[in-house]
Structure 1
Amino acid sequence: MKTADLCDHYKGALQVCAPMFRSFGGKRRFAGPITTVKVWEDNVLVRQAIETAPEGSIIIVDGGGSKRCALLGDRLAAIAVSRGIAGMIIHGCVRDTADLAQLDLGVLALDSMPLKSKKEGKGERDLSVRFGGVIWEPGHWAAVDEDGIVLAPHPMEL
């Protein structure tokens, strides 16, 4: 079911993220339970989430909207693919975009930036985060397609 159809079917019961992201991954449509990471220009916890999130998860990275460095590149994205992660939504930047486009992974981010992030391990995991006019709750579900992103407290299939 498309996100537009989900919005029609659930008639206002979904949260709809503001249109602010660009698609960088090879997968345009994906859905699954979310897990969250909150960091500032540091991607150590992003890697930890990729290495530990259950297969089929969507990893939500609240990078505070920083465009000064990338929080995901080709190497971490390849690990995500090998672990069966459905996708990543990054409130920040990515790099290695030509490579990301070739991977079977959904990747949404604000923009691209070639500079890598710090590696200090600062941040938090598995907490509610807010950006895009919605609240991203661990365990809730997200569905993504070419029309946008919708969130629900229950499973949704595209």
Structure 2
Amino acid sequence: MKDLLPDLCDYYAQDIRFLPLILRDYGRNTPFWGQIVTLRCFEDNSLVRDLLSTDGSGKVLFIDGNGSCRRALFGDQLALLAIKNNWQGIIVNGAIRDVATLAQLALGVKALAACPIKTDKRQMGEHNVVLSIVDTLIYPNDYIYADLNGIVLSTTELDLSVLETES
């Protein structure tokens, strides 16, 4: 099911929040979804590597780079690490790099833009914090659903099997 979000919005209208952030899709996997892990970091992706080194089964990492596109917070090496550790997807409110490679990898990836410049490594950032993106609160451990139509959030995991019977 490539167009997951329209059906989710129809069926679960009272249970979801739309994230009005315009992101491009860079990964091969769409749609993707999972439990949210949050990270706030500005032009420093040290903690991204640390998080992606942990088990990401059923999880999506949401990185808030404060919308900066001057440095790439995510690229091909981190994507390979994410895949190795079973992450479902990565969403970046900021820039990524290695976009041709990312398009070939089995991972959901959304970001504002591409930038070829790597980040500084200062071990700075905050993990598992509430993010405020475009006046929308993103809570750790909530659920995120993403496809080419955008992103929706839910406080609980949604039963996607009901959509199959609706079609």
Q: Same fold (TM over 0.5)?
A: yes
SS at match of 1:33: strand
SS at match of 1:71: coil
SS at match of 2:78: helix
**Percent identity of paired positions between Structure 1 and Structure 2:** 37
Residue 28 (structure 1) aligned with residue 23 (structure 2): no
Question: Hey, what does 1:130 align to over in structure 2?
Answer: 132
1:39-54 correspondence runs (5 A)? 39-54=41-56
Question: Hey, what does 2:163 align to over in structure 1?
Answer: none
Distance of 1:157 and 1:79 partners within structure 2: 28
> Alpha carbons of 1:113 and 1:156: their partners in 2 closer, same or farther (altered >3 Å)?
same
Q: Is the 8 A contact 1:142 1:156 kept in 2?
A: no
RMSD: 1.3
Distance of 2:158 and 2:27 partners within structure 1: 21
Q: Flag the structure with larger Rg.
A: 2
Q: Is the 8 A contact 2:72 2:117 kept in 1?
A: yes
Question: Hey, what does 2:121 align to over in structure 1?
Answer: 119
1:7 Cα deviation from its structure 2 partner: 1.0
For residues 72-96 of structure 1, give each alpha carbon's deviation from its aligned partner in whole angstroms, at most 9, with x where no partner exists: 0100010001111000000000000
From 33, 41, 62, the equivalent of 1:60 is 62
Question: Hey, what does 2:151 align to over in structure 1?
Answer: 149
For residues 35-88 of structure 1, give each alpha carbon's deviation from its aligned partner in whole angstroms, at most 9, with x where no partner exists: 000001000011111112531210000000001010001000100011110000
1:156 Cα deviation from its structure 2 partner: 2.5
**Normalized against structure 1, the TM-score is what?**
0.95
For residues 9-33 of structure 1, give each alpha carbon's deviation from its aligned partner in whole angstroms, at most 9, with x where no partner exists: 1223311011410001111210110
**Normalized against structure 2, the TM-score is what?**
0.90
Runs of 4+ in 1 over 4 A off after TM superposition: none
